[in-house]
Chains A and B, each alone.
Chain A
Amino acid sequence: MHNEHTLTLAWLVLLGLTLLGGVVGNAGSPGLWVTVAVAAMMAFKGRVVIDHFLELGGAHPSIRRLVRFYAVALPVMLILTDLFGPQIARLTTL
């Protein structure tokens, strides 16, 4: 069970990362490392919500694992799409 201070800290961290994301969105230039950084931020923010808001740390493993997997799989797919975009496009062209 979380206490109020931990939850508030998690919320403030998430707000800070959101504002940082806004700066990247306005000023960043395309590149693999920017994609990796944004993907890492997605995964981290997702994990904070899962652990501190949803409180899945002590939940049933099937729930905890699936939701944690979700927040990791999407950022990984983003990186893979930027790394292997042409190959994915070729494989999925009818």
Chain B
Amino acid sequence: MSTAAATFTAPPAPALGRIPGNKAIWVGIYCELTEFALMFLVYFLARAHHPEAFRDGPQQLSTLAGVANTVIMLTSSYFVARGVMAMRRNARGTCLKWLAAALVVGIGYPVVKFFEVQWNVAHGLSGNGEVFQMAYYYLTFNHLVHVSWGLLGLLWVMARTWMGAYDARDHDGLEAFACYWHATDLIWLMIFPLFYVLP
């Protein structure tokens, strides 16, 4: 293979100082980060005002559900990252398999959440106005909404990948979705210790 041909087929390396995905998704991610920053601020103020409620709160929750959803978010995020890497090699079929795996794992998040809420209600955590429960439900339900949007976005990029809309040189849409999914993962990594881990 000549040098010219090799240059033509090789995917371009991401340039330093670039915007991953596209500008629009970063507007969305900034909005998401700001929204959760305000909710985290409320969490910290509530924690300062009611330290005993936040000290006892995590023991009321199912640590197993928190760990399970963290493992789900991390694994789904990892699969999406592998999908992007496959697309950079122009391996569209492999990319689609990684994205399908990310979807299957990601669907586990609302499923675990459903059973977690059942468990909570059975154990008296019905969000009846107690400050820890209110903070917990408000933040985690908001995160669930963002995960649900992400799962719809994942279906969209899977359809686009299947239709051949992306290749090694042009897959900004796929990368933009990946950024959103990783940012949603990042927020969960902040929520998980605040509600499930801190004794």
Contact = CB atoms under 8 A, between A and B. Distances in A.
Contacts of A52: 81
A19 B82 CA distance: 23
Contact of B16 (A11, A26, A58, A81): A58
Q: Which of B49, B66, B67, B199 has the most CB of A within 10 A?
A: B199
Contact of B197 (A38, A60, A85): A38
B145 interface: no
**Interface size bucket, A side?**
35 or more
A22 B67 contact: yes
Contact of B48 (A38, A63, A89): A89
Interface in A11-51: 11, 14-15, 18-19, 21-22, 24-26, 28-31, 34-35, 38-39, 41-42, 45-46, 49-50
Contacts, number: 138
B148 to A, nearest CB: 20
Given A34-B199, A70-B33, A88 B70 contact: no
Nearest to B175: A55
A34 B44 contact: no
B186 A71 contact: yes
B189 A25 contact: no
B14 interface: yes
B17 to A, nearest CB: 5
B125 interface: no
Contacts of B189: 42, 45-46, 49
A25 B199 contact: yes
Given A49-B182, A50-B186, A55-B14, A28 B47 contact: no
B85 interface: yes
B33 A18 contact: no
A74 B188 CA distance: 12
A66 B33 CA distance: 10
Contacts of B82: 4, 7
Given A31-B199, A55-B14, A93-B49, 7 more contacts: A21-B70, A25-B197, A38-B197, A53-B77, A55-B20, A63-B20, A70-B186
Interface of B: 13-20, 26, 30, 33, 37, 40, 44-45, 47-49, 51, 55, 58, 63-64, 66-67, 70-71, 74-75, 77-78, 81-82, 85, 88, 179, 182-183, 185-186, 189-190, 192-194, 196-199
20 contacts: A7-B85, A11-B78, A15-B71, A18-B70, A21-B192, A22-B66, A22-B197, A24-B197, A25-B67, A28-B199, A30-B199, A38-B193, A42-B189, A53-B81, A59-B17, A67-B186, A71-B190, A78-B198, A89-B49, A92-B45
